[in-house]
Structure 1
Amino acid sequence: MRSQAEIRRALQLNGRTVDFTLKRASRRSVGLKIGPDGLTVSVPQRFPLAELDAILHQKANWIASKLDAMAARPEPTALVAGARIDWLGEPHALQIGFSRARVEADSLQLVAHSTADIPAALEKLMRREARVFLAERLALWAGRLNLRYHDFKLSSAGTRWGSCTSGAVIRLNWRLMQAPLPVIDYVVIHELCHLVELNHSERFWTLVASACPDWRHKRAWLKQHGSRYFSW
């Protein structure tokens, strides 16, 4: 049942009808969020709704692009015994009932005894392997680029593949273990280059290109295929 503080509204934005949930909340500004249930607009308790349409029209292109991206997301992968999950770009069958998790040539052997155990067991295996493998790729490319980072950590971000802080801490998403090695290396190079340029300026991309000349192809591949790695 929908809260009394939430109401459904609809608005014509760039020729399309956009349904959205309007919420009154304890906040100072208007917030927009796109999720599985569509657009949610949160406004301050005393915000005059007469001003809302103008704000949404200003954000129409952003709203449309996010709604389209959400609609294009793949269906969640059913994690059952026998299902195939990419590992370093190659499909591996999920197998359960093992006392120790292992990565085999064409299978992932999980410490799981039922379907309900599979998601946690798969994440545990992927994190374990990512902690070592991604650290090795990071050290390799840091040496090649003659760059130094302060620390490496795994990331659980919902959409981002990596990040680099001003304190030289690099985070890489453990879900990268599903991607092909050249794509993983592109993400690693990308974050390492932020040690020099903490932005996406022309100088930054020139530095990326020095180590990964086809970075545009790798970035496009991630945009096209990467969302399925978040589908479970």
Structure 2
Amino acid sequence: MPRLQYGQTTIEWRFKADATLKRHYVTVERGHPVLLRGPAVGLEEQEALVRRRARWIREKQALVEMPLAEELIVTGSRLRYCGRTYFTEVRHVPKLAYSTLRFTASRFVIETPAGRSIGLDALAPLLAGFYRDRAHEKLLARVRHWERQSGLQARGARIRHFQSRWASCNAQNVLEFHPRVMELPASVQDYVVVHELCHTVEKSHTRAFWALVARQMPDWRRQHEVLERAALGDAV
């Protein structure tokens, strides 16, 4: 497996050619080498792409390899939504057939037949469903708001799971958003929406693209920095 040395950090990566992508993306996951995906390139160019994002990769590896503070979610644990973490209450309800999760505006409430705690593996699909439902309700409304505000028009918007990115604007100008965008602060959610709307006009990250983003959202750099620090994939 190829590797490069970045300071005291050794970065191993594997490459997955994907002709459907126009750019290259890196993904950092616990216990796995860095995944580089995108159009087919040779080893030398792969190394250049990984080196370009080496600092970002090192920071994300340090983050994801940290020991999990909690293997179990219990009352008093905190879950993330819209840039904040909220108190979580876990209720034991033996008569339930399966666990449920709801949000009461100030806290998460989990009801489970398994006891007074729930494992991260069991929680993951509940939280993913919550983010997906909220994205349909709130994020798509922000797309319509920014279309009116900016004059930019998408041919549609939908929620979709990606392996290594927050959002996309496809060749038909349909916007697609990962449900986990709902973890981010509202201002950063808006930046993701504006970013993808600008791709309906400029497909690449050219100077003209960033100038268009700046016209719609003058403080975009601040939101972009928050997005850069969030733990999902990143483009190179």
CA distance in 1, matches of 2:125, 2:148: 34
How far off its partner does 1:153 sit? Answer: 1.6
Report the alpha carbon displacement of residue 18 of structure 1 after superposing the two structures with TM: 3.9
Rg comparison, structure with higher value: 1
- How much has 1:62 moved relative to structure 2? 4.3
Residue by residue over 1:158-205, the C-alpha shift from the partner in whole angstroms, topping out at 9 and shown as x without a partner, is 331111011011011111111111111011000011111111111111
TM-score, structure 1 normalization: 0.70
**In the alignment, which residue of structure 1 is the partner of 2:88?**
94
Deviations 1:46-85 (A, max 9, x none): xxxxxx8x78876672484465144232435645033212
Contact 2:9 2:58 (C-alpha < 8 Å) held by counterparts: no
Going from structure 1 to structure 2, the CA distance change for 1:134 and 1:95 (only over 3 Å counts) comes to same
Structure with more of its chain in helix, by fraction: 1
Instruction: Show the counterpart of 2:17.
Output: none
For 2:111 and 2:83, the matched residues in 1 are separated by 22
The residue that corresponds to 2:40 in the other structure is none
Residues 1:105 and 2:95 are matched in the alignment:
no
**Structure 1 62/109 Cα, relative in aligned 2: closer, same or farther at 3 Å?**
same
Please give the secondary structure, in 2, of the residue aligned with 1:93. strand
Q: Does 1:128 align with 2:133?
A: yes
**Residue identity (%):** 25
Which structure 1 residue ranges, 5 or more long, are not aligned? 1-7, 23-31, 42-51
SS where residue 222 of structure 2 aligns? helix
**CA–CA separation in structure 2 for the residues paired with 1:228 and 1:19:** 18
One-letter amino acid matched to 1:102: R
Deviations 1:4-55 (A, max 9, x none): xxxx89x774676848599xxxxxxxxx9865344689xxxxxxxxxx8x78
Letter in 1 for 2:138: F
Match of 1:80 in 2: 73
Q: Secondary structure at the match of 1:170?
A: strand
Q: Give the deviation of 1:91 after TM superposition.
A: 1.6
Extract unaligned runs of 5+ from structure 2. Answer: 15-25, 37-42
- Displacement after TM superposition at 1:208 (Å): 0.8
Could you give the per-residue CA deviations for residues 112-155 of structure 1, whole angstroms, max 9, x where no partner exists? Answer: 44413322211111211111111111111011112221221213
| 1:8-47 alignment, distance < 5 Å | 13=5, 18=10, 36-38=31-33
TM-score (norm 2): 0.69
Distance of 1:198 and 1:12 partners within structure 2: 31
- Does 2:161 correspond to 1:182? no
CA distance in 2, matches of 1:40, 1:160: 13
Q: 2:163 aligns with which of 158, 161, 172?
A: 158
Please give the alpha-carbon distance, in whole angstroms, between the structure 1 residues aligned to 2:34 and 2:188: 32
Match of 2:152 among 135, 141, 147: 147
- Matches of 1:162 and 1:180, distance apart in 2: 15
In the alignment, what sits opposite 1:49?
Answer: none
